[in-house]
Structure 1
C-alpha cells in the first residue's frame, strides 16, 4: 500500500521508515523551501532576461536555449548559497544535520512539447534512482520553482513498488558515467545517445500519481520509487529543484528501501555532504558501497 502523507507531524526517523516502505510525503511551502525556490528563480530569470523563463522556449532557437542552461545550471548547482538553503530546509524538516548528508541540488527543466527533451534538459523515462548507483537509503526531495500543473508535473508509478521491471541498470556504473557521459550533456540537443538505465519491457504507466503542489512545496520519496517526467503539454517550461539525502545511521547499517530490480555497480556515496560542515562520508564507507556486489550496494554486503 502506498500513501501520501501531507504536512505530517511524524518525527524524522519515523518519516524515513515510512519512505523506505514506499510512502510519499508532501509539505506545504514554508519559508525555508520558498527561499530555495526563490533563489533558483532569481538565477533563472537573470539568465533568461528579459524573457520569462517559462516562455523562453517559444522565442529562442533551441541551441541558444541550451547555451543559457549550460551556464545557468552549474551556477545554481555549485553556488554556496544553494547549499546553505538546503541545510536550512533540512533542519526545518527535523533532520539531524550531524547525521544527514545531502548532494548538490539540481535545477531541472521540462520544456513544452518536443522542443528539448535530451541532454541538459533530459526528460526522464520511468526509472528508479537506484538504477543509477544510488543507495537504497537515499531519499529524494523535489520542489517546483513556479506553478505546476498535472500536464507538467512529476509522475509516480506505485504499482511497481514491489514489482520488478526489467531494465538496463546492469550496464551502469556511476564512476564510468561521470568519466564518459555526464560532461557531454549539453552536446545532446536533438537526440540523447548516452546509454542510461531504461525499462526493457513495456511499462504500465497507470495507475500513476501526479502531485501538484505550490511553488516551494516539497515532495519527498524513496530513491526506489518508480517515477518519470510527465510529457509536458502545458504550453510552458516547468522548472524544479531536486536534491537527495542519506542518513548516516541508515548508511552504516545498510538500511533503506528494498531492492526490487537494480543491478548497477558503483555508488553515489562520494557526492553527499554532511549538513554541519559539508564534509564527505568516511572514505571506508564510500569504498565499501563502491565495491559491493551488483544489486546490493550496502556497506554490509561489501564486508
Structure 2
C-alpha cells in the first residue's frame, strides 16, 4: 500500500478509508491489551458506562499516559509507516493518542466539548496536518464521528480568535489532567450548527484506518450504539510539506500559536525547527491578512 501519491488530494479535501497493512493487527493487539488492563472487570466497551464518573476519568488518565508516553507504542507502530509508503525521515508526529467516547455521552452536560464541531487548525494545528483515525475495536455508525465536506473551502463564523496555544498549554493542554490556570480551557466551535447537504459519517471495522485533512470541519456524533468507542488519533505532518508551504488556506482560523512546536521527527525525536515553523506559518498568515483586508474593504 502506498499512500504517498494520495496525500496531496487529502490536503485538498479528499478522504480515504482503507484496510490497514499487515503490521496493524499486532499493534492493535498491544493497544487492546493495554485497554483490557485498564478495564479488567469486563468488556471495556460495556464496562465504561457502569463506572462512576470519577473512576472512569482516573482510569482514562492512566490509559492515555500508557499509550502516549510508552515508547513501545510508537516502536510497534513503526513498521506501519513504511507499509503505508511513508518515509519516517519525513514525518513529524504529534503523538499516538487514545480516546474513549462513552455510550450516551451526549446526555452528560460536562461532556459538551467532546462533541464540539471544529477544525483542528482552530486549535493552532498546522494547515498541512493529516489525521489518521484507527478504531481499537469495530466502531458502528452510531458511535462514529461526522465530517462536513461542503465546508472544506467554505468559512464558518467561529471563536478561534480567542484560542491561544500558550494559554491552552497553561490550562493543561490536550488530554491532560493538570490545570495550573485559574481559567477554564477554551474549546473553539462554530457560531451556529452547520447545515451539510452531504455529511460523511465515519465509522470502521477493526483493522481499518481512516485518513483525512485536519482542515475538515468535523465533530463527534452522539453515541447511541450502547458501546463505548475506543479509537486512536494520530496527527502528523511531512517535512517537505512544511518546506514547500503546502496546505489549504486559513479561511476562518484566527488561533494563535502552533502545535508544530511540540511535534517531533520519528527517526531522531528532534522537534520541528523554529525557523521552519516560521517559514511555513508566514505564508498562511500573509494570505489570511490579505483576506481580512479585502473583507474590510467590502
Give me the TM-score of the superposition, normalised by structure 1: 0.85
Higher helix share: 2
By how many angstroms is 1:97 displaced?
1.2
Q: 2:42 is matched with which residue? A: 51
Any conservation in 1 of the 2:49–2:102 contact (CA below 8 Å)? no
How many residues are matched? 284
**Residues 1:203 and 2:189 aligned together:** no
Q: CA RMSD in A?
A: 2.6
- Rounded to whole Å, the distance in 2 between the matches of 1:270 and 1:229 is 26
Q: 2:165 is matched with which residue? A: 174
Q: 2:72 is matched with which residue? A: 81
- Rounded to whole Å, the distance in 1 between the matches of 2:8 and 2:281 is 24
Provide, for residues 50-90 of structure 1, a one-character-per-residue CA deviation record: whole Å limited to 9, x for no partner. Answer: 22210112321111111111111111111101211333221
- Rounded to whole Å, the distance in 1 between the matches of 2:133 and 2:13 is 16
Q: 2:265 is matched with which residue? A: 274
Q: 1:300 is matched with which residue? A: none
**Residues 1:257 and 2:245 aligned together:** no
- Rounded to whole Å, the distance in 1 between the matches of 2:49 and 2:281 is 44
SS in 1 for 2:126: coil
By how many angstroms is 1:160 displaced?
0.7
Alignment of 1:10-159 (within 5 A): 12=4, 14-114=5-105, 118=110, 123-159=114-150
Going from structure 1 to structure 2, the CA distance change for 1:93 and 1:131 (only over 3 Å counts) comes to same
By how many angstroms is 1:296 displaced?
6.3
By how many angstroms is 1:212 displaced?
2.8
Counterpart of 1:229 (choices 213, 220, 226) is 220
- Rounded to whole Å, the distance in 2 between the matches of 1:110 and 1:226 is 19
Structure 1 outlier segments of 4+, above 6 Å? 290-293
Ranges in structure 2 where 5+ consecutive residues have no aligned partner: 289-298
- Rounded to whole Å, the distance in 2 between the matches of 1:117 and 1:82 is 33
Any conservation in 1 of the 2:90–2:265 contact (CA below 8 Å)? yes
Provide, for residues 100-147 of structure 1, a one-character-per-residue CA deviation record: whole Å limited to 9, x for no partner. Answer: 11121110111111366757x952321111111111111110000011
Give me the TM-score of the superposition, normalised by structure 2: 0.86
- Rounded to whole Å, the distance in 2 between the matches of 1:27 and 1:214 is 10
Ranges in structure 1 where 5+ consecutive residues have no aligned partner: 1-8, 298-303
- Rounded to whole Å, the distance in 1 between the matches of 2:11 and 2:178 is 36
Counterpart of 2:153 (choices 126, 142, 162) is 162
Task: Tell me which moved more, 205-214 or 53-62.
Answer: 205-214
Task: Tell me which moved more, 276-285 or 158-167.
Answer: 276-285
Any conservation in 2 of the 1:262–1:295 contact (CA below 8 Å)? no
- Rounded to whole Å, the distance in 2 between the matches of 1:265 and 1:58 is 37
